[in-house]
Amino acid sequence: MAQTLNPSNHTFDFHCRGVGVPQAARAGVQAYLDALGLRDDVNLTEAPGAQLLVALREERAAAWVPRGDTTSLARTLGLDPVGKPEDLERETVVAMLAAPRVCGFNYPSLEEFLAAVQVRCHIASAARRTQLAFDTVEAERPADCWTYDEERGFTILPGKSLITSLQKATQPDVSGKLYSFSCYRATEYVILLGIAQTLAEVNPPLLDRLQRQWQTKAVMSGPFHDVFLVEFGAMNDPLPPGYYVPGDRLWFRNPDEPSSNVPGYEGSWVFYLGGGEFSNFWKRDQHYTLTTKCVEIYHWRHGAYRDAAGQWQMDENIVEARMRQTLADPAEVERVLRQVFRLRDPQGVYAEGGCIDSSRECPRRLCPTTSDIVLPDVE
């Protein structure tokens, strides 16, 4: 059903370069894997250039992540990534250790790798708590901690915590209210929150500068991606369609050209939460699976229409009704997935491609001596 890649083109290694003697890094990695109950499932090999290669054993990778598909990992290992934070951490580590070569996971120290795991877990947890009011035009933030200026965007008020302000804007359990966002801007807030929470633990001086940045000017859209994120996978070297690590930001594309003209329905930006689930910022009690997300996007073509003014609109009631019908019919689910559960076409092309993007995104390095985040207005 899914478009897959030749497993011989992939390894399950990531590089964790030890500072100084690789043996010291080895001891730290072994202790960490012991704490997660994973030591017997992982190979550690010293390589030239003071590198320590850390890889899931081949037999474990074949059994746990067949064809690079991580979406059943929690079920296979009996993990509860929703109820147990330590299980979300285990799933994240195993998924990273099962990375195809195209990911190029490479960390200059054990501390940087641990921070990468932490920030992913923070992002996945924050995305689960996020619920918003979808709006591609209007936007609002809690007035007690945010202010808006056309040149600076939404910035936080003096004396207000960036972490608390982000939580109030995105988590109704904190604010008691749903605020209006586009899905892309919402992902920026969730990523920023995860980064800030991790910096509070591993690099408080950078958190202080991040706080000053958002008191000065918001970093948004392309600059946000450039400053805070790295992208792995590409159209000419794609990830397996089922490979996701908790905390990944990714895009599901709408492969239907007419309905992609509806503002906000060109595609869907989400996070992988672990446990086979993807974020749903509009109904957080109904997170997506790969199947339900693909089926929803497929039926956008049936909900799209032009209003009396000739503007493209989306009838979500039609989409939801069509989804229920399809999901109740296994043969129809299989037909829809054959059509859309494949890698997407290039930008501007609507031919035989599906919903699945070739790449994922995750935060840059965060630790004091190795972070590569450069803030544009406070450095």
- Cβ atoms of 110 and 181 closer than 8 Å: no
Strands 42-47 and 51-56: antiparallel
Q: Which two tokens stand for residue 266?
A: 């060109």
pLDDT of residue 11: 32
pLDDT of residue 318: 97
Q: What is the pLDDT of residues 289-323, one digit of tens each?
A: 999 999 999 999 999 999 999 999 999 999 999 99
CA angle 362, 368, 371 (to 5 degrees): 35
H/E stretch holding 96: helix 85-97
pLDDT of residue 23: 65
- Cβ atoms of 148 and 179 closer than 8 Å: no
CA distances to 10, 33, 188, 355 from 98, rounded to whole Å, are 10, 15, 26, 23
pLDDT of residue 22: 57
pLDDT of residue 103: 75
Measured in degrees and rounded to the nearest 5, phi and psi for residue 248 equal -60, 135
Measured in degrees and rounded to the nearest 5, phi and psi for residue 206 equal -70, -35
- Cβ atoms of 109 and 185 closer than 8 Å: no
Which residues of the chain register pLDDT less than 50? 1-21
pTM of the model: 0.93
- Cβ atoms of 52 and 22 closer than 8 Å: yes
pLDDT of residue 367: 95
3-state DSSP of 18-29 = CCCCHHHHHHHH
CA distances to 13, 231, 233, 237, 255 from 102, rounded to whole Å, are 10, 10, 6, 7, 25
